[in-house]
Amino acid sequence: MLVTIPEVFTKDEVRSIRDLLDRANWDDGRKTAGAQSQSVKANQQLPATGETAQKLGQMILNRLGETPLFLSAALPLRFLPPMFNKYEVGETFGVHVDNAIRVNPHTAERLRTDLSMTIFFSEPDEYDGGVLEVEHHYGTQEVKLPAGDMVLYPSTSLHQVTPVTRGARVSSFFWLQSMVRSDQQRSILFDLDQTIQTLAMQSGVEDPQVVRLTGIYHNMIREWSEV
């Protein structure tokens, strides 16, 4: 399941975030690549333990905790701290799959990566190329969103960022472990939750069918969650 979440940050907030990112010192992105990814990765990253990355990362996590569409789709249990990357002309990240287990650089806690996420901080017209391509059973989906928008997709997916040919693509990327491991089960729960919310707006939260469906939703989470 690939889900896009619009306007996680407003345009004014994006400008403030970009001001910090544009003044930051960037490292070679290959420093954090695994053995398979290192040969196909050519980009820049902020040091994960640096002041800018930690400040902006906490801002992102705070905002996502207030974003109902994200919470519905992800059912988050634990996050890895958001990281930040930049692709300039000629830089790319070829086809790869994210590591199944990653380590929190601040706590050394191990986390299973169920969902991968990207928040865009460059407008689409600021750069050419730099498209996130995510492969799934039904083909390849291309993602290039407005600044402030977010995409989340299963970490099991093969994906790549195509070469940038003009400008710079700046974004945040990170992972989470969901309360529900299965992408198929998360998709079912997401569809059910969105249907409940639509019915509640039409008929009211006290409508008997809304109450019944809400009970079914929570009982399914009890059955499938690992909490």
For 75, residues 6+ apart whose C-beta sits below 8 A from its C-beta are 178, 179, 180, 186, 189, 221, 225
CA–CA separation, 28 and 20 (whole Å)? 18
Q: Is 29 helix (H, G, I), strand (E, B) or coil?
A: helix
State yes or no: 98 annotated in a binding site: yes
**φ, ψ (nearest 5 deg) of residue 4:** -105, 140
Task: Using alpha carbons only, give the angle 208, 182, 8 rounded to the nearest 5 degrees.
Answer: 75
Q: Are 47 and 53 in contact (CB under 8 A)?
A: yes
Name residue 102's beta-bridge partners: 111
State yes or no: 169 annotated in a binding site: yes
CA–CA separation, 208 and 49 (whole Å)? 50
State yes or no: 137 annotated in a binding site: no
**φ, ψ (nearest 5 deg) of residue 77:** -110, -55
In angstroms, the Cα distances linking 103 to 185, 217, 218, 226 are 25, 32, 30, 20
Binding-site residue set for Fe cation: 96, 98, 159
Binding-site positions for 2-oxoglutarate read 169
The binding site comprises: 96, 98, 159, 169
